Amino acid sequence: MTQQATAAGKPAAGTGRSELGIAALLGVAGAVVLWDASRLVVPYSVSDPVGPKTLPIIIGSLLLVTAVMLAVNVLRGGRGQAEEGEDVDLSHPSDWKTVLPLAGAFVLNILLIGVAGWVVSGTLLFWGSVWALGGRNYVRDGVVSVTMALLTFYGFYFGLDIKLPAGILAGIL
Amino acid sequence: MDTFNLLLQGFSTALTPMNLMFACLGVLLGTAVGVLPGIGPAMAIALLLPLTYNLEPTSALIMFAGIYYGGMYGGSTTSILLNTPGESSTVITAIEGHKMAKAGRAAQALATAAIGSFVAGTIGTALLAAFAPLVVKFAVSLGPSSYLAIMVLGLLTVTAVLGASKLRGFASVGLGLAIGLVGMDPVTGQQRLVFGIPLLSDGLDIVVVAVAIFAVGEAFWIAAHLRRSKMSTIPVGQPWMGKQDWKRSWKPWLRGTALGFPFGAMPAGGAEVPTFLSYSVEKKLTKHPEEFGHGAIEGVAGPEAANNASAAGTLTPLLALGLPTNATAGVMLAALIQFGIQPGPLLFQNEPILVWGLIASLFIGNTLLLLINLPMAPLWARLLRIPRPYLYAGILFFATLGAYAVNLQAFDLVILLVLGALGFAMRRFGLPILPLIIGLILGPRIENQLRKAFQLSAGDISGLWSEPLAVGVYAVVALILAWPLVALAWRRFRPGEEAVQVPASLERDPHQSRL
C-alpha cells in the first residue's frame, strides 16, 4: 500500500517545487479579483453599505494571503498530498502520454461539435479517449463509440427534447 | 401527529409509479457508481443535473437521494472485496471488511454492511423526519444576520476542520468563492470578473463547474496515474449471516447510528469522523479484541451503520437550513437552485410535497437497496471488471455531453476544460475539492445575506450581531480560527503525550478520496 509513504505528508508523486505553480496561480487569481474589484463603481447607498466591492476585496485578499503562505510552506518543504483512489497508482509520475492525447480528443470535440455535429465529434471523443487510455481493440472500440454517440443523440432528442447539433449528418439523422 | 400526517402524505407522493421508478433508478445508479471506481455519488448527480432540467423537481430529487444512499451501499461492497475504499467514509470498512473477506467471510461482511446500512439508514431517516421540522420551527424565526453567521460557520468548518492541510483548504475555498463572483452583482447590476466576455455575464453555471471539477478533473487525474497492474477482487457468494454474526452485529449497528446521525447533521461532521469513532468504540467494547485487525465483524457493522446514519444526518441541515455539509449535499443544493427552488427553512412551508415526498422516498429507497444489495452483491461486484478505458472515456463523454446540453454552446466546453485542468492540479497538489464546491455555492448566498442584514439595519454594522444566535455562532467561528493556536499551546505544555493511536490508513486526508 502507498499509504505508509503518504502518511508522512510526502507522497511519491509530488517532489520538487512544482507546487509553487499553485501558489503563483493563487496569487494571479487574487490579483485579478482585486484588479477587477478596483474598477467597480460603488454608488452611494444607505441601505447597501456593503456594495459590490466588499466581497471581491475580501476574496482577493484571501487568495493573495494563501498564495504567500503556500509559497512559504512549499519552500520550507511542505507538500500537498496527491489524491489517491481505487484506480490511482501514485508510484509512477503523471503519465503525460495518456493525458495529452486525452486532452487532444477533448479539444477536438470542442472544435468539431458545432461543425460536424455531436454524432461525429462524440464518436471521435469517445474513441480517442479509449485509445489514449490504452484501448487497442480498434473494431470493438469503434463500434462502442459510434453506438454511444448515436444512442445519446437520439436519447436526448426523443427522451429529453434537447436537440444536439446534427452537423454534417443533418439530413441523415 | 402533524409530522406523521405529513410523512404519510409524503408516502403518497413517493409511491406514485413515476416517483417510484425514479427511486429505483436512483438506487440502482447509486449502487453502480458506489461500486465503480473513479465515480462517486457527487459526480454522478453532477453529471445527471443537465439531464433533469425538464423533470419534475420532486422526481429528480428523489432520484438524487437514491443515488446518495445507494453510493453508500455500493461503496462498502468495493471496500470489502477490493480493499480500496471508494468513498472516504468507507475507509474504515475496508480495514476489517477486507480482512474478513480474505479469511473467507466476505459473505458475512457484505451482509452485516448491507443490513447495518439498512437499519441505520431507516433510523436516521426517521430522525431526519422528526428533527428537521423542529430545526425549521426554530430557524424560521431567524433573521439574515443569523443565517449569515451559520453559513460562514458552514463554510469555515468545511475548510478548516476537515482536511489535512488548513492552508490548502483556504486556498481551495478562495478559488471557489472567486468562481462564484463571476457574473452580475445582484444589487447594483455591475459585471464582476466578466472581462468583457458576454457569455460570462450570467455567471458560470454551477453544473458546468461541478462537472468540470468532479468529472473532468477526476478522469484526467486517474488517466495520469492509471493503475496498470490488475487488482484482485475476492470472489463472493450470496451474503448471509449466522446467528452468532447477528448477535455480534446488532449493538454496533445501533451505536454506529447514534454516532453517525448527529455528526452528519453538524456543519463539519461528515461521515469520516463518526465511522472512525464507531470503529474505536467497537474495538473497546468488543468481547473478541483478538479479532480486531484480523477481520472482526463489529468493525464492519458499526462504521457502516455510522456511515449511513450520517448521510441521513447530512440531509437535516440541507433541507432545514439550506446548508450543505458535504460534496453530495452541495450538488443536491445546486439542483434545488437549478429548479428555481429557494433552499432554506421556508422550503418546508413552500414545498411540503417535495420535502416530505423526498423523506418518504428515503425509506423506500433504503428498503430497495437492501433488496438489491443482499441477493445481488456478486452481480454488482462484476461491475469492477469493466475495462478502464471505457469507464474513463465514458466519464469524459458524459461530462462533455452534460455540460454542453446546459446551454448548447461550445464555450461551456472550454470552461469545462479549463476548470477540469484546475481540478487536475488540485488533486495533484493536495488542494481539497470540497471547499471549492461549497465556496462556489455558499459564496453568493453569503453575500446576499450580508447585504440583506445591512438593509434591515439600515446600514448599521451592529446589524450583523443583532441576534443572539449570530453572536453564539461567531464565537464558535472564532474558536475554530483560534484552534491551531490553542492546540499549539496544548502541545507545548504536554510534550510527552502522543496523539491517540490511529490506524495507518486513517491518516490520509478524508477529502483525498474521491467524492
pLDDT at B326: 87
**ipTM surpasses cut 0.95:** no
Give how far A172 is from chain B: nearest CA, Å: 21
Report the first-to-last Cα separation within chain B, whole angstroms.
Answer: 38
pLDDT at B85: 64
Chain A CB contacts of B167 below 8 Å: 66, 69-70, 73
Asked if A82 contacts A9 with a C-beta cutoff of 8 angstroms, the reply is no
Mention every residue, 6+ apart, whose C-beta is less than 8 A from residue B499. none
Please name the member of B192, B223, B507 whose beta carbon is closest to the beta carbon of A133: B223
- With a cut of 70, say whether residue A139 has pLDDT above it: yes
Instruction: Please tell me if residue B193 touches chain A, with a CB cutoff of 8 Å.
Output: yes
Q: What is the dihedral of CA B199, B203, B204, B207, to 10 degrees?
A: -120
- With a cut of 80, say whether residue A47 has pLDDT above it: no
Compute the C-alpha angle B381/B383/B389, nearest 5°.
140
The reply to whether residue B390 touches residue A87, judged by beta carbons under 8 angstroms, is no
The reply to whether residue A85 touches residue B222, judged by beta carbons under 8 angstroms, is yes
Mention every residue, 6+ apart, whose C-beta is less than 8 A from residue B129. B3, B7, B359
pLDDT confidence tier of residue B247, bands split at 50, 70 and 90: very high
Give how far A161 is from chain B: nearest CA, Å: 9
CB pairs under 8 A between A and B: 264
- What is the 3-state secondary structure of A91-135? CCCCCHHHHHHHHHHHHHHHHHCCCCCHHHHHHHHHHHHHHHCCC
Q: At what angle do helices B352-373 and B106-139 cross, to 10 degrees?
A: 170
User: B383 vs A26, which has greater pLDDT?
Assistant: A26
Helical H runs in B287-387? Answer: 298-321, 327-338, 347-350, 352-373, 377-382
Extents of the domains making up chain B: 2-492
Instruction: Please tell me if residue B462 touches chain A, with a CB cutoff of 8 Å.
Output: no
Asked if B379 contacts B77 with a C-beta cutoff of 8 angstroms, the reply is no
Chain A CB contacts of B188 below 8 Å: 41-43, 48, 51-52
Q: How far is CA B154 from CA B68, B162, B251, B330, B480, in A?
A: 20, 11, 32, 12, 11
pLDDT digits (tens, 9 = 90+) for B22-32: 999 999 999 99
Instruction: State residue B267 phi and psi, 5-degree precision.
Output: -55, -35
Instruction: Please tell me if residue A90 touches chain B, with a CB cutoff of 8 Å.
Output: yes
What's CA B90's distance to the chain center, in Å?
Answer: 12
Measured between CA atoms, the residue of chain B closest to residue A133 is B389
Which cell numbers in the block locate residue B11?
408516502
- Rounded Cα distance between B332 and B64, Å, is 7
Asked if B314 contacts B266 with a C-beta cutoff of 8 angstroms, the reply is no
- The SS3 assignment for B495 reads coil
pLDDT confidence tier of residue A12, bands split at 50, 70 and 90: very low
The sign of the dihedral angle between the CA atoms of B484, B489, B492, B497 is negative
Measured between CA atoms, the residue of chain A closest to residue B450 is A50
- Rounded Cα distance between A27 and A20, Å, is 10
Asked if B334 contacts B327 with a C-beta cutoff of 8 angstroms, the reply is no
User: A85 vs A115, which has greater pLDDT?
Assistant: A115
Q: What is the mean pLDDT of residues B204-210?
A: 89
Measured between CA atoms, the residue of chain A closest to residue B54 is A160
Measured between CA atoms, the residue of chain B closest to residue A44 is B188
Of A114, A149, A154, A155, which is closest to residue A129 (Cα–Cα)? A149
Q: What is the mean pLDDT of residues B330-349?
A: 91
- The SS3 assignment for A5 reads helix
Average predicted confidence (pLDDT) for chain A? 87
Instruction: Please tell me if residue A133 touches chain B, with a CB cutoff of 8 Å.
Output: yes
Compute the C-alpha angle B309/B311/B313, nearest 5°.
70
Count the neighbouring beta carbons within 10 Å of the beta carbon of residue A13: 19
Which cell numbers in the block locate residue B60?
429528480
- With a cut of 60, say whether residue B502 has pLDDT above it: no
- The SS3 assignment for A49 reads coil
Least confident of A9-18, B112-121, B506-515: B506-515
Helical H runs in B36-105? Answer: 41-48, 57-82, 91-100
pLDDT at B494: 66
Asked if B282 contacts B293 with a C-beta cutoff of 8 angstroms, the reply is no
Asked if B104 contacts B289 with a C-beta cutoff of 8 angstroms, the reply is no
Of B32, B58, B95, which is closest to residue B360 (Cα–Cα)? B58
Of B321, B358, B368, B363, which is closest to residue B58 (Cα–Cα)? B358
DSSP string, B131-192: HHHHHHHHHTT--HHHHHHHHHHHHHIIIIISSS-HHHHHHHHHHHHHHHH-EE-TTT--EE
pLDDT at B250: 93
pLDDT confidence tier of residue B165, bands split at 50, 70 and 90: confident
